[in-house]
Amino acid sequence: MADIVIIGGHGKVALKLERLLAERGDRVDAIIRNPEHAGDIEAAGANPVVADIELLDVDGLAELFAGHDAVVWSAGAGGGNPARTIAVDRDAAIRTMAAAERAGVPRYVMVSYFDSPDRSVPDDNPFRHYAEAKADADEHLATSSLDWTILGPGRLTDDPGTGTIDAEAAESGAVSRDDVAAVAAAVLGDDRSIGRTIRFTAGDTPIAEAVAGA
């Protein structure tokens, strides 16, 4: 059994991940900003922790992380506000990495997106702020002392999961949120994924096999 903290605990992927982890016997703390979401967290088998990662400093985040075995970042500003995108997807994400190091939490899993890091997005494209923020966060994580894994799923869908993916896809494509959650659960249980960026779409390779790098 592992003690895992999920940042962005009310997201669609996060709720699915919480159920998977709880079902296999892990203890999960899910960080949420809105206390009205606590019931959904509990229904997924996790413990709701109300905190605003955008406001907490490294010490405050380290207090939340203390005693856990792994941190999962599954949060996001949601786009539309460039300043907040930078504040959450870059600045807060990087603070959580420093906090995990300070709290002695060795494992960190980042849920990113297929094309990150991508610094080729034009200045006049609204997606640029998000792409830059994710690139900064992912590159920072990859140079940290943490046992990191970065997940780069393709375009997310609500289709039923298949339990299989393509982790050798040359370009982004669709993948179900069910399967993204299953990949996150798998990497948390397989140290062979440490130090790897796993980009994936829907495919035919069993998730455990893809995560193991077989």
Eight-class DSSP state of 78:
-
Unique residue bearing structure tokens 């892990």: 26
Question: b/e per residue, 167-185, with b = 16+ CB within 10 A?
Answer: bebeebeebbbbbbbbbbb
CA dihedral sign, ordered 138, 139, 140, 141: positive
User: Beta strands 3-7 and 70-73: pairing type?
Assistant: parallel
Considering 130, 175, 182, 207, which one is annotated as catalytic?
A: 130
Q: What tokens were used for 81? A: 């506000």
- Active-site residue flag, 108: no
Which amino acids are annotated catalytic?
A: 130
